Amino acid sequence: MKISHECAPCFLRQAGEALDLACDDSETKIKIFNEIFKFLSNNFSTQTNSNKTGSIIHNIIKQRTGCNDPYKQKKILGNKIALKYLPKVEKIISHNNNLETYVKIAIIGNILDFGAFTIDEDVENIIEQSLKKELKINHIKEFSDSLKKHDKVLYLVDNTGEIVFDRLLLSKLKEYDIDITIAVKSNPILNDACLEDALEVNLDKYGEIVDIGSSTVGFVDSEISDEFREIFNNHDFIISKGMGNYEGLTEINNSHKEIYYLLCVKCQAIAKDLNTNYKDMLLLKNQK
């Protein structure tokens, strides 16, 4: 997906958040922000890839501050909070354990910013209310058909915390006797899940975990490794979590693949692109 004008405040908001996590010195932050301003002034256009632009900004912050993982503590807390609520979620879905409920749970994981909660905060009501919402775009029948037709699937995860709820959907997918490959980031970027985060919540129980060969915001085709490109090319059935992966995968020609996007619409640029509303939940199959 290309940059829109709505991306500008988002780039700066995320940069400010990352800087606050990575550095305490105000002068250093001002210098880094000046560098980011200069970069954006030369690269902010409708022809620019949004994910790659965001990735460059966060790599500037990591390089200039010397902090390789500004979100490390948030990621640890995110998994911890999500694991706390896992038994409650399992109890909720035990009363309605069809495929769509598991898809909704995975999308609700995408809604919740677990790193922003405290360990004592009750998010059970948010989960229950979200489960009552209809999916704005709901390709559940096609999704079910794909699970029955294919013998393997590539699952692109998104954030820590969220990956705990992905476990539930992954466990449901195993009922279809399908081989699962789970793709994570190679190195820290934002609160995206890396190998150690995935192993911490036992995602390896549900499939082989591979890394994409890069640490980018979302999926950036030009940055993935040759090894992961081979894995990607060898999968005709893909499950993509979150907006960043949607933005990246829709930039390339995947007309021969069946890709399902599971996400919550959390920005106006995505809402416009999908003709949906802010906070809508989607299970969207790519158009061939």
Q: pLDDT tens-digit profile of 90-111?
A: 988 888 889 999 999 999 988 8
**21 and 77 share a domain?**
no
Banded model confidence at residue 123, pLDDT cuts 50, 70, 90 = confident
**227 and 163 share a domain?**
yes
pLDDT digits (tens, 9 = 90+) for 139-167: 999 999 999 999 999 999 999 999 999 99
Q: Which residues contact 150 (CB under 8 A, 6 or more apart)?
A: 178, 236, 237, 258
**173 and 261 share a domain?**
yes
Beta-carbon-side half-sphere exposure of residue 260 (alpha carbons within 13 Å): 24
Q: Tokens representing 45? A: 């256009």
* Residue 101 forms part of a structural domain: yes
What CATH number is given to the structural domain containing 39? Answer: 1.10.8
Report yes or no: 238 and 154 within 8 Å, Cβ to Cβ.
yes
**276 and 150 share a domain?**
yes
In degrees, rounded to 5, the angle at the alpha carbon of residue 251 between the alpha carbons of residues 245 and 252 is: 105
* Residue 254 forms part of a structural domain: yes
* Residue 60 forms part of a structural domain: yes
**100 and 170 share a domain?**
yes
**76 and 152 share a domain?**
yes
- Domain membership of residue 57 as a residue range: 7-65
Q: Which helix (H) or strand (E) holds 163?
A: helix 162-173
Report yes or no: 264 and 280 within 8 Å, Cβ to Cβ.
yes
> What rounded mean pLDDT belongs to the chain?
92
How many angstroms separate the CA atoms of 40 and 168, rounded? 40
**130 and 256 share a domain?**
yes
Q: How far apart are the first and last CA of the chain?
A: 17
Q: How distant is the alpha carbon of residue 49 from its chain centre? A: 17
Percent pLDDT > 70 in the chain is 96
Greater pLDDT, 256 or 208 = 208
**169 and 232 share a domain?**
yes
Above 70 in pLDDT, residue 116?
no
Question: Which of 16, 40, 65 lies at the terminal end of a domain, its last residue?
Answer: 65
pLDDT digits (tens, 9 = 90+) for 66-75: 999 999 999 9
Report the C-alpha dihedral over residues 102, 106, 111, 114, rounded to 10 degrees.
120
pLDDT digits (tens, 9 = 90+) for 214-231: 999 999 999 999 999 999
**58 and 81 share a domain?**
no
**131 and 210 share a domain?**
yes
* Residue 2 forms part of a structural domain: no
- Total of domains in the chain: 2
How many angstroms separate the CA atoms of 103 and 112, rounded? 15
**191 and 79 share a domain?**
yes
What CATH number is given to the structural domain containing 173? Answer: 3.40.50.10880
Q: What is the pLDDT of residue 145?
A: 97
Question: Which of 41, 65, 89 lies at the terminal end of a domain, its last residue?
Answer: 65
**167 and 198 share a domain?**
yes
Report yes or no: 72 and 55 within 8 Å, Cβ to Cβ.
no
Give 240's strand partners.
156, 261
Q: Tokens representing 242? A: 């979150």
